[in-house]
Every structure is written in C-alpha cells, then in structure tokens.
C-alpha cells in the first residue's frame, strides 16, 4: 500500500500508546502503513509501542502532544510529513472518561473532558482536513454511550455526542477532496480506560448485556478502523457502532 509519492501510506494515531489506539496502530502497520503514534504523556508506553511496530518491520515513531493544543498537533503533522512525505489517514482515538453523576460533577472535570474530547477532536480534525492527501480517511472515536445513556456518563456522553456532530459535518465539508470522515463508536471494551475503577461484578454484568456475552477487545475495533482506512471508501459520514449488539 503506497501513497502518492510512491512511499507507504501514512497514518497518525492519537492515543496510540495504549488500548484501542495501540491495537489500531499495529493493525494499520500490518496493512503496510507507516505509523506516527501520538501520546499525551507516557513516553515509556509510547516507546514500547514503537518498538513493537519496528520489530514487526513497520516504519514508526512517536510524538508527544496534547491533542487540544493546536500548535502541538500541527507539529505532529509537520513531523509526519518531514519523515514520511505526507499523511493519508488520521485515527483520533485519544480521550478521557472520568465518571460522575451529573449533580456531583466537578465543573473543572467537565472542562477537562470537553477540552480533551471535543476541542481535541476539533483540533486534530482541523489539521487533518487541511493536510490529508487525496484518498485519505479521518476516523474519529465516539462511543456507544451516546445510545446507552448509562448513569455517571453525562460528561463523557455529551463530549462524544459533539464528536459525532463534528464528524458528520466535516464529511460534508470535504466534498471534492476524496477524503472520508467517519466515527467508530465502541461499546464496553476491555481497556484500562473502561476497566479502571470498576468492580469485577460490574464488569461481568456489563459484559453479559451483549448477546455475544463478552466485552469487546481492542482488536475488534482495530479491524473496523482498518476497513475504513483501506477498502471502505464508500462508507462516509457515518457513525459505526461496534458493540456486539448491546444496543
């Protein structure tokens, strides 16, 4: 799989040092992408992810950046272009998920959620819209919580509703560019983001809500992202719920 310059197609994966983002980076590398892993702060995890990719034969490097900082995000794209010649796919998997009933939510926490999940999506997508090569794809991450409406998720669910609005609007704004824009909306998935702070009893109960009677795995999501980044050119302006039939 090659880009316009004859080199490999290039993907930036935000939140690529762990969880779904890391699994997705590996899956795209299998398809021949050069991968730029963006991470928020854990350099050890990011370096380990890059080492795994390079050991598999992929081209990869990591860049630290706060996704809500437009200067830092622009630098991620700059470095991807300098190293690999351009950018074809952006997978925006970075996000935060603090939980609290709405009545008890510290508004400073709400501000952090909105800054990372909403402003972060806007900033990343803005750079992607300006800089992706024709034939590219922007893949945001929403959440099935926009349909579950589970107590405690008001801030997170509101932020992901905004992600969906951004995604669907941008898909239409990029008319004529041959760039697709979609959002993947996971259900409960066995990552640290979901598992942290939950009792084993609660995790078992939530897993049982799916007709498939299990939690999702990062690989389940990575396969959908790989499709959207590759063969799924006729899927555009959609939110794809990947949750094992929980809703």
DSSP character for 34? E
- What stretches of 109-192 adopt beta strand conformation (E)? 137-141, 180-186
Q: Is the pTM for the entire model greater than 0.85?
A: yes
Q: Which residue has the tokens 């926009």?
A: 146
39, 153, 156, 241: which one is catalytic? 156
Domains of the chain, earliest start first: 10-188+218-241 (3.40.50.720)
Q: Residue 147, class by beta-carbon neighbours within 10 Å (0-12 exposed, 13-18 middle, 19+ buried)?
A: middle
Q: pLDDT tens string for the chain (247 positions)?
A: 566 557 899 999 999 999 999 999 999 999 999 999 999 999 999 999 999 999 999 999 999 999 999 999 999 999 999 999 999 999 999 999 999 999 999 999 999 999 999 999 999 999 999 999 999 999 999 999 999 888 999 999 999 999 999 999 999 999 999 999 999 999 888 887 777 778 888 888 888 889 998 988 999 999 999 999 999 999 999 999 999 998 7
Among this protein's residues, is 156 annotated catalytic?
yes
Distance CA 133, CA 197 (A): 41
200-209 burial, b at 16+ Cβ within 10 Å, e below that, comes to eeeeeebbeb
């Amino acid at each position: 799989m090659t880009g316009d310059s004859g080199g490999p197609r290039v993907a930036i994966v935000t939140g690529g040092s762990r969880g779904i983002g890391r699994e997705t980076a590996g899956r795209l590398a299998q398809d021949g992408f050069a991968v730029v892993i963006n991470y928020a702060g854990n350099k050890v995890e990011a370096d380990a992810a890059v080492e795994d990719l390079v050991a598999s034969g992929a081209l990869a490097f990591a860049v630290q950046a706060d996704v809500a900082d437009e200067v830092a995000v622009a630098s991620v794209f700059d470095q991807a272009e300098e190293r690999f010649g351009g950018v074809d796919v952006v997978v925006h998997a970075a996000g935060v998920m603090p939980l609290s009933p709405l009545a008890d939510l510290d508004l400073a926490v709400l501000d952090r959620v909105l800054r990372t999940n909403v402003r972060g999506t806007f900033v990343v997508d803005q750079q992607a819209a300006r800089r992706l090569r024709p034939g590219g794809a922007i893949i945001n991450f929403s959440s099935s919580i926009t349909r579950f409406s589970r107590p405690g998720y008001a801030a997170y669910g509101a932020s992901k509703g905004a992600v969906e609005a951004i995604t669907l609007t941008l898909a239409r704004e990029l008319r004529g560019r041959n760039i697709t824009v979609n959002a993947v909306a996971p259900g409960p998935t066995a990552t640290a983001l979901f598992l942290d702070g939950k009792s084993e009893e609660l995790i078992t109960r939530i897993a049982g809500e799916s007709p498939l009677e299990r939690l999702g795995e990062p690989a389940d999501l990575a396969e959908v992202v790989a499709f959207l980044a590759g063969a799924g050119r006729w899927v555009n302006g959609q939110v794809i719920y990947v949750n094992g039939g929980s809703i």
